[in-house]
Structure 1
Amino acid sequence: MNADRMRDLAEVWGGDLRRWPETERRAAEAFSRSAPEAAERALFAARQLDAALDAAPRPAVSAALRDRVIASAAAAGLRARTVWPGLRKLLWVGGAGWAAAACAGVVFGQVLTSDFERQVQLDVVLEQASVGGLDDTAVLG
């Protein structure tokens, strides 16, 4: 790599070495370490151009132009593409699984809770029956 090659690449890829192809970037970084002044001169104009382009106002697209483009695409028979055609089907199948799991949770919760309540009631009755030697005044104070 030399200063002329680096200047040519800077005109094509810009002043930021991160945007350059990897092989060229490694060679440019090595050249920058060996000749920092020459590398800085080669990149200076490209960095100024990058800064000017970044500062330039971006044109706003009018709603009428957007509507015309969409209408012409629709007239040509084009449709909007989904990101992943099978995604909707996959979401429905996954949603059905979640719904089934939720329903199963409700059913098991009801069944187990009613059995648990019966067991607690049975324990209370057995405990009260075992306290036969005491009357209510002794228990309640």
Structure 2
Amino acid sequence: MSILGPVLIGLLYAALNSFIPSRHRRPFNALMVAGAGAAYLSGGAFGPLELAFTTVMTVVAFRGLSSWRWIGVGWLLHTAWDVAHHLRGEPLLPFAHDSSFGCAICDPVIALWCFAGGPSVADIIRRRVNRDSAGRIPSSG
């Protein structure tokens, strides 16, 4: 499986979040990380540990309602769970052998975006333009 695809999916996820108003963006992402925590429940590869992981992710998602940092932590925890399932041979999507591997590549991209505060694409461009213009010497004339 290519690494580029999952990275692009993570970037697309962040970009699509730009369409969610900023006041709703963090709660939406807290729900997404809670859902990710339950993604492997039906497979049951790790037995009762699957329930324990879902419980931990629910607590992390709840904390994420008020903190982007916790949402980022949730995506990194999910990355570890993806790796465990990939190594065990129990992928997220049973019909896609490398789906857990791809998820383990995608999730840290989303986590980095969360650690940055979940900015919209417009916010990122605005910051870049402001930073670039702040470093210029004004011309006289």
Larger radius of gyration: 1
> Could you say which structure has the greater relative contact order, defined with CA pairs below 8 angstroms and 6 or more residues apart?
2
**What range describes the TM-score normalised by the shorter chain of this pair?**
under 0.3
